[in-house]
Structure 1
Amino acid sequence: MSVLTSLKLITGKRPVSASPIVLRRNKMANKIAEQLALCEAQKSGEQYQPKVTRTYTNKQTGERMTVDTVKRVRQWFYISPEGKINLTLKYGSKVLPLNKKGANAIELASGDELIATLKNLQTAVLNGDLDEAINEVSEMTRNSFKK
């Protein structure tokens, strides 16, 4: 009992779920991390192939099977006709608006600048700088399902 008396004991309750804003931030930060890993793999001349576990039912036997497959990660960046790299941020399949004027891409000069920008964007997302844009796209997606 002497060990317990030396500790600060409290009545704690674990939260059931995080707020929707935090969940959206984490989702966006994870997707930016995937893009960052994709860029770094391309820079070193490798292929980025993350594994994902998929479960399916065998049609002939009815047995559920689990298989590790390669997850397809689509690039958020492309080369413009001028030779610059354009980076768009996506939440789901929708492109995020980056300002009120309608800009939706970031123009970059090199791959190193792309990697640095993705790292900065990941920090900005976790700090809540893109919450308004993420919420706007999320609302549009949610409203498209309503009749």
Structure 2
Amino acid sequence: MTSTTNLSTGLTARHRERLMSVAREVSFDTGTRIFEEGRRADRFWIVRTGTVALDLCVPGRRAAVVESLGHGELIGWSWHFPPHVWHLGAEAMSPVRAYEFDAETVRAMCARDPEFGRAIADWVGRVVAHRLHASRVRLLDLYAPYGSGSRM
């Protein structure tokens, strides 16, 4: 990911501290499905250690892995936008330790503090834009006759 989508550079220290005040530590074993495309998005995570693969359902084929996430990266953005349904799936590719956040709690914090809310929205928006581009490139590489024509 680009540096501005990573938690450490995507938010100011003050906003990171505020977000981390509601974090809970969790872990996932290798092969654990963290969430499934189309299901309710009621939480999100930031990777501490390990690797998470994001995948996209492709009708008639196996799910396509569109991106791998590591330290400091956001797992899940669908919690931030109605209808709060996952647009991708996620699986632990190695043992993963992460910080977990309750989406409703963070959305309420954003509503109470517009500056914090704008910072979170800007960070999540940059993540969405990056993931959209990564998904497009990966799907073109997999299924287009000549690939995407670019490498990330």
Please identify the structure whose Cα radius of gyration is greater: 1
Asked if TM exceeds 0.5, the reply is: no
**Is the strand fraction higher in 1 or 2?**
2
Structure-1-length-normalised TM-score: 0.25
Structure-2-length-normalised TM-score: 0.24
